Chain A
Amino acid sequence: MTARDFTNSEKFKDLVRTRWTFSFIMLAILFVIYYGYIYIVAEHKEIAAIMVGKNVTLGIVLCTAVIVGSWILTLIYVVWANNVYDKKVESLKKDLQ
């Protein structure tokens, strides 16, 4: 099997497809979180002003949520890559030997 046959194999193509599909889904979630937040603080300031606790506004909670949410997204990516992507890579590396 030549290197070209290998990269043209269904299994390799599946690895590439899975990798980018997952990445773009994660990027889309990041966009929704960040720009959703920006949309609220720019266009719907009254939503950000809702009180959710004693002198704690929804805006403050959302701001914290965007930071924590971005962090969690990177952790999800690491867990996914360790458990899904790396397993596929290992299996492909075995085929190559």
Chain B
Amino acid sequence: MQSTLGQPNGTAILFFVLVVILTLIITYFAAKKTKTTSEFYAAGRSVTGFQNGLALAGDYMSAASFLGISGMVALSGYDGAIYAVGWLVGWPALMFLIAEPLRNLGKYTFADVVASRLKSGPIRIASAVGGLLVVLCYTIAQMVGSGKLIQLMFGMPYEMAEIIVGVVMLLYVLFGGMLATTWVQIIKAVLLVFGVTVLTVLALAKFDFSISNLYTEVVTMYPADNMLNPGGLVKSPLDTLSLGLALMFGLLGLPHILMRFFTVPDAKEARKSVAYATTFIGYFYLVIPIVGFAAAVLIGKEPIKAIDAGGNMAAPALAELLGGTPFLGFIAAVAFATILAVVAGLTLAASSAMSHDIYVSVFKKGHATEEEQVKVARMSVVIFGIVAVALGILFKGQNVAFLVGLAFAIAASANFPALFLSIIWKKMTTQGAVWSILSGGLCATVLIILSPTVWVNILGNETAIFPMKNPAVFSMPLAFIVAILVSLMSPEPEAQEKFEDDKIRTYLGIGAE
């Protein structure tokens, strides 16, 4: 069959334009409701648990995981499914450890929570920098990945794809703030889950709706490839433990995810939103391997590799085979919308770190009028948007896959330990938190540079100095140990007093913003 992948596709453009028009109409209405800082960053705390659950799922299910994991399953089978599992297990941990206290203690950013009982200046700068680093790594990975995907699907020049993503995303965030961003995420999550479901049903119809038949075909077609059994992905248990820790606790330090918890009215809704998010994300990762296996049988590994060596086009190619050009157009438009939504969420998180944490809280010591705060917030959105597009173009064609691992490793090692200890541990001090963020972040970054992904694959050295792919198993405990030792060496009685004062708010939600 002749594929139209990579050529401008009328249906894809039509669906894409429809999605953009719909989201811009929502942005128009959201903009009318976005006047104050609380409305800009936290949607006026008016989002329900169900809506926030969908939006969280929207923030988390990226185009890279939809196209990447289905491609990985199509080419290497069961290993892709093992990888998919790792992306889900952070959500229960987020629920058990921080969702509710985060909601009760925070205002607009996770730095608010860390700073609530410590000396505001130093700790805000440290956590804002930690947060910005994570968002920056994540954004570069998203922008570069998305430019390539759009090029593959629409046949559009890379630079043009970057600029379209940048401009449309800026319109949402600049005018509609968190409310518009939330609705963009909700629409995208619904479209993605719907698209994946249709794709799975169409694929299973080819196997009489029997998963067992699908696996039989997989084994018959690839008898030598051992598609249904674990292969080379998990070699060293320590490496896998480390990657697992980074994925699990990195989620608990991702600023754009944590920020969503301030959009719901109270801790009960925060809890509900994690339950809904886990439901959608769990379902997503449960059906994605089916799409991958079906693509391996119905299209074949070689034709998939012929379109893109990484296998990223397995799902779109399957969509074209099963539903023709219109369905391919729909899936391509959904993938594009997915990229827009994820980048919008990241931009809002970066803007809150720059304007709320650094400009308003540190430079202005919290004394800024509502108009000034919103103005600075919008300015930082524009700055970050331009930076994102520029970095996307700058890193064109670079191997940036390691940046996602780096983002999760820094999130798990710099942001999570300081955040969690400041919620749970009375003796945490400002110095302890600052040194914990610095040591965790630095250790994670240096070890990633020395690891095979950067030292060998990118810098071209013979062997890696640090043998593992992800450093979290060292850098996260280091951040905890530094936080505890430094805190014990530098007692801060005021911080302990404030910890006690905050307890009613942390556990009962009385006095929460």
Give bound CA distance, A12 to B240, whole Å. Answer: 40
Question: Which of these, B97, B216, B272, contacts A78 with CB under 8 Å?
Answer: B272
| Cβ contact within 8 Å between B240 and A38 | yes
B480 within 8 A of A: no
Tell me how far the C-beta of B428 lies from the nearest C-beta in chain A, rounded to whole angstroms.
15
Tell me how far the C-beta of A42 lies from the nearest C-beta in chain B, rounded to whole angstroms.
4
| Cβ contact within 8 Å between A42 and B235 | yes
Are A74 and B219 also in contact (CB < 8 A) when A42-B237, A67-B85 are?
no
| Cβ contact within 8 Å between B212 and A55 | yes
Residues of chain A lying within 8 A (CB to CB) of residue B509: 89
Tell me how far the C-beta of B236 lies from the nearest C-beta in chain A, rounded to whole angstroms.
8
| 20 pairs, A vs B, C-beta closer than 8 Å | A12-B503, A16-B503, A27-B93, A30-B96, A34-B244, A35-B244, A42-B235, A43-B237, A45-B229, A55-B219, A56-B211, A63-B78, A66-B89, A67-B285, A68-B282, A70-B88, A73-B92, A75-B275, A89-B508, A96-B508
| Cβ contact within 8 Å between B93 and A7 | no
Tell me how far the C-beta of A29 lies from the nearest C-beta in chain B, rounded to whole angstroms.
9
B286 within 8 A of A: yes
Question: Which of these, B216, B228, B240, B500, contacts A7 with CB under 8 Å?
Answer: B500
Tell me how far the C-beta of B244 lies from the nearest C-beta in chain A, rounded to whole angstroms.
6
| Cβ contact within 8 Å between B504 and A6 | yes
A residues engaging B (CB < 8 A)?
Answer: 3-4, 6-7, 12, 15-16, 19-20, 23-24, 26-27, 30, 34-35, 37-39, 41-43, 45, 48-49, 53-57, 59-60, 63-64, 66-68, 70-71, 73-75, 77-78, 81-82, 86, 89, 92-93, 96
Tell me how far the C-beta of B467 lies from the nearest C-beta in chain A, rounded to whole angstroms.
16
* Closest A residue, CB atoms, query B506: A16
* Closest A residue, CB atoms, query B215: A55
Give bound CA distance, A28 to B38, whole Å. Answer: 37
Residues of chain B lying within 8 A (CB to CB) of residue A16: 503, 507
| Cβ contact within 8 Å between A27 and B285 | no
Give bound CA distance, A78 to B99, whole Å. Answer: 12
* Closest A residue, CB atoms, query B96: A23
B279 within 8 A of A: yes
B66 within 8 A of A: no
Question: Which of these, A24, A82, A92, contacts B508 with CB under 8 Å?
Answer: A92
Give bound CA distance, A11 to B378, whole Å. Answer: 46
Give bound CA distance, A81 to B240, whole Å. Answer: 32
| Cβ contact within 8 Å between B91 and A74 | yes
Main secondary structure, interface of B, reads helix
* Closest B residue, CB atoms, query A22: B96
Tell me how far the C-beta of B508 lies from the nearest C-beta in chain A, rounded to whole angstroms.
5
Main secondary structure, interface of A, reads helix
Residues of chain B lying within 8 A (CB to CB) of residue A57: 78, 228-229
Residues of chain A lying within 8 A (CB to CB) of residue B375: none
Give bound CA distance, A68 to B287, whole Å. Answer: 12
| Cβ contact within 8 Å between A60 and B215 | yes
| Cβ contact within 8 Å between A48 and B230 | yes
Are A38 and B237 also in contact (CB < 8 A) when A45-B229, A56-B212, A74-B278 are?
yes
Are A26 and B96 also in contact (CB < 8 A) when A49-B229, A55-B215 are?
yes
| Cβ contact within 8 Å between B282 and A70 | yes
Give bound CA distance, A42 to B238, whole Å. Answer: 10
Residues of chain B lying within 8 A (CB to CB) of residue A35: 241, 244
Residues of chain A lying within 8 A (CB to CB) of residue B216: 54-55
B95 within 8 A of A: yes
Question: Which of these, B229, B237, B501, B504, contacts A59 with CB under 8 Å?
Answer: B229
Interface centre among A34, A35, A37 (most CB of B within 10 A): A34
Are A63 and B96 also in contact (CB < 8 A) when A35-B244, A74-B275, A96-B510 are?
no
Are A93 and B508 also in contact (CB < 8 A) when A23-B96, A60-B78 are?
yes
* Closest B residue, CB atoms, query A49: B229
Give bound CA distance, A34 to B237, whole Å. Answer: 13
Residues of chain B lying within 8 A (CB to CB) of residue A67: 84-85, 88, 282, 285-286
